[in-house]
Structure 1
Amino acid sequence: MHRRTALSVSAALLAATPLLSACSGEARPGTAAVVGGERITTSALQAQVNDVRAAQNRAGEAAAGLIQSTPGLERVKLNRMLQTAVLERAAKDAGISVSQRELEEFRDGQLQKAGSAERLEASALEQAQLAPGQLDADLRFRLLRDRLFAHYGSEEKALEQLGAAAKALHIQVNPRYGAWDAQQIVIGDQVTPWITQRTRPGQPPAGA
């Protein structure tokens, strides 16, 4: 899981740096982060935020509370985008994959637990800030994550490999969103390491 692209470490660094930094040393406008030399644009990030806000606004009487409880939504979404890139790289290098059929079966199982699509979507929105259109990506993330843990046989080993993948990707984050911590695989000062936030057996589905 030690490389995001076929580029060498030095080439990846050379490719990534101009994308994020302008000549003045400030973050280049329009770039939220760079992962393995590829940009995550602020417009792509904002699209995910907007989808969640739209879903929250459709929540009726709960709308105001949902919005007020998620003031740092941009950072939350950028975190997940970066974490997904790290996990995908780690899974690929470990020979782990998720088929469309497996994803559909997992989704069906979550629907049965929730009781209905509406309840599943409401739970995901409230607990994990997921819009309905983001559910499948979240389910895939969870499947890959759990398989990676099973593959390495211990949380410690899995976290070690994920940390190595994060470092190999040479992730750079626009300071507007905080500082990237490759060891914790998170932006800024979040308290709980992302990878340990796993759904317990029987717990309502709500994302990682």
Structure 2
Amino acid sequence: MHRRTALSVSAALLLAAPLLSACSGEARPGTAAVVGGERITTSALQAQVKDVRDAQQRSGNAAQLMAGSTQLERVKLSKMIQLRVLEKAAATAGITVSVKEIEEVQKGQLAQTGGSRQKMDEIMLAQRVPLAPGQVEDEIRFQLLFTKLSDRYGEDKVLEPLAKAAEQLHIEVNPRYGAWDTRQITVGDQQTSWISQKTRPEQPPAGA
């Protein structure tokens, strides 16, 4: 199975009206992003971050893992948005991923670690986008959808349906986490005075 943890497109994508902002121009409280008219709440994002941090703390090399994932809020939000882009493109193409397919991949991953779930969890935590145990199924779904779309359209042309799907979803990101990069389909850096930066994305732990 091809493994890809980031998507890139070169087509320009359209953004929706400012769904993140209220009439006063302030960011709507509790919203990390709006995708397809649906909110990704800050609480949902922070829950994913907390699960990873808790799993890292339980690891034998917690300091190293945490030092290597200082922008965890941003990368997790990117992945949550990217999954929705993949789901939109897959739905348009009539592509699905079954529970059985996900289970088969999980069995294969477990077999590669000699049946050690602890070792598999450690491998997932060490990825560029670290995964807590409860997040593995979504990651497998992500990879399967991307692989099936690549098989359908060809690896050199799969970016076209992804770009179209992203455009249709009208993605907008709270500037607290950065800016939606239409070329890379990810959340990147942004300098902005749109909202007060009273609460910043995670910083490296002291001494890391």
Report the Cα distance in structure 2 between the residues aligned to 1:114 and 1:143, rounded to whole angstroms: 20
Equivalence for 1:160: 160
User: Are the aligned partners of 1:163 and 1:184 in contact in 2 as well (CA < 8 Å)?
Assistant: no
Matching of residue 54 in structure 1 with residue 91 in structure 2 = no
Give 1:29's aligned amino acid. Answer: P
Report the Cα distance in structure 2 between the residues aligned to 1:113 and 1:143, rounded to whole angstroms: 18
Equivalence for 1:169: 169
* Greater share of helix: 1
User: Are the aligned partners of 1:166 and 1:183 in contact in 2 as well (CA < 8 Å)?
Assistant: no
- What is the CA deviation profile of residues 12-66 of structure 1, one whole-angstrom value per residue up to 9, with x for unaligned ones? 946xx34x10222231111000001111110000000000000000003x01111
Paired residue secondary structure (1:165): helix
User: Are the aligned partners of 2:16 and 2:172 in contact in 1 as well (CA < 8 Å)?
Assistant: no
Matching of residue 105 in structure 1 with residue 83 in structure 2 = no
Paired residue secondary structure (1:71): coil
Give 1:22's aligned amino acid. Answer: A
Paired residue secondary structure (2:69): coil
Equivalence for 2:72: 73
Give 1:151's aligned amino acid. Answer: R
- Compute the TM-score of the two structures, normalised by the length of structure 2: 0.79
Say which structure, 1 or 2, has more relative contact order (CA 8 Å, 6+ apart).
2
- Compute the TM-score of the two structures, normalised by the length of structure 1: 0.79
Residue ranges of structure 1 left out of the alignment (5+ in a row): 1-11, 190-208
Give 2:100's aligned amino acid. Answer: R
Report the Cα distance in structure 2 between the residues aligned to 1:71 and 1:178, rounded to whole angstroms: 14
Report the Cα distance in structure 1 between the residues aligned to 2:66 and 2:73, rounded to whole angstroms: 12
Q: Which runs of 4+ in 1 moved over 2 A?
A: none
Equivalence for 2:143: 142
Q: CA RMSD in A?
A: 1.5
Equivalence for 2:8: none
User: Are the aligned partners of 1:33 and 1:173 in contact in 2 as well (CA < 8 Å)?
Assistant: yes
Residue ranges of structure 2 left out of the alignment (5+ in a row): 1-14, 190-208
